[in-house]
Amino acid sequence: MSPEMKEPSAKPKYWDGALVPETDEHGSSPVVIRLTDEERNSGRTRPDTIQQALTYYHRDGFFVLENAIDDDLVDKLYNRMVEDNETYLSKPHMTWNQGSKTKNVSQIPPLTTEWLHKDFYANVHVLRILENLLGPQPELRFLNANVACPGGTGRQAVHTDVNHRFPSIPFGIVLNTYLQDSSADNGVTEVWCGTHNAYPHPEQLKHKESGWIRKDLIQDRAKKSAPSQPHIRKGSICFRDLRLWHAGMPNPSSRHRIMLAIDYFAAWYQCPMTLQLPLSAKEMVEKEWKISTKGIEWVDGEIDSLEVPFFLNMTQDPGRYLVQTEKGFEDWRVRESGKYEFDRGVVSEECYWTPE
């Protein structure tokens, strides 16, 4: 055995010839898988960690990878994004997600080389798991963040991020990295484990154009598995299947709740969406991140992330994109009729679970 390789600290456990991950003992939803300090510091992911991740991702469509990023890096980015938030909220193209009562907004992190640390965007442990879920060379095609500003009073409707036709297998995963300890006390996202493949699509949708879920199915699902606002430690990376039901929740605390939103897609899916990064970061990304760069456009000069409009297209059709404008979100309906209807629905009890 080479000097750098060490035996696991605990003996593996077997059940009828199979290696049983420790998390099978509690099996909670969502499951939290904690990287050991040795894994994080060495960059080597244990095989049983990967087995746990695949097991619970396929079951729940969601799990939490804890101890993934150093606290100092997390705190530094959090403080910078809080400073940026005051400026961003004054931008004419800024739009609240599902209404001003939510105080929930999409805000792109700083995109200069100093802030593009691979642990956030191309974490070595994350990439190993993604390759086992999506296949070789998964493509980074979306880089953003979600900010729940203090004082929000409204919640989002239970929804899925994909309201278009999609494969019945994992094709895209959003990585939500929390930059502070989060819970219901500061607006952690409500997640509905197991809904990524629980109901047929598009029959599950209340409004096909919005991705909002039907009330009867929300009530039905809660009888089998109620939604959760889990406690998530800062620096944790949540793997969420794009098909999973979820909802942004109000942040009653006095501090911003910030989570990164990084989307990777399977290479075979041929997602047409791209993101922009500065040309000055190209050498670093190619050398240190070691990812497919097919979804990246290199821009000469600096990029002011607060001036970049929100852009989204998770379909396989280049013409089905959604873009943020001063009039609101422009989707395919705007381009056909001129009517801005996306994200203009009213969230009521018909849009979320009400205990019976």
Q: Mean pLDDT of residues grouped by 10 in the chain (356 residues)?
A: 41 75 63 95 94 93 97 98 98 94 97 97 98 98 98 97 94 98 98 96 89 97 95 98 98 98 98 98 97 98 96 97 94 93 93 96
* Cα distance between residue 46 and residue 318, in whole Å: 39
Do the Cβ atoms of 99 and 201 come closer than 8 Å?
no
Identity of residue 15? W
DSSP string over 116-150 = --HHHHS-HHHHHHHHHHH-SS-EEEEEEEEEE-T
Nearest to 96 by CA among 161, 143, 155, 160: 155
Both tokens of 174, joined, read 């959003």
pLDDT digits (tens, 9 = 90+) for 167-195: 999 999 999 999 999 999 999 999 999 99
What pLDDT does residue 297 have? 98
Predicted confidence at residue 28, as pLDDT, reads 65
Q: What sections of 61-117 are H helices per DSSP?
A: 71-88
Angle at 47 between CA 44 and CA 49, to 5 degrees: 85
State both tokens at 18: 């199979």
Residue 322: count of CB within 10 angstroms of its CB? 18
**CB under 8 A, 24+ apart: contacts of 299-305:** 302/112, 302/278, 303/111, 303/112, 303/276, 303/277, 303/278, 305/84, 305/108, 305/109, 305/110, 305/111
- pLDDT score, position 26: 54
CATH architecture assignment, domain 16-351: Sandwich (2.60)
Please report the pLDDT score of residue 21 as a whole number.
60
The CA distance from 170 to 183, in Å, is 27
Most distant CA pair in the chain, distance = 67
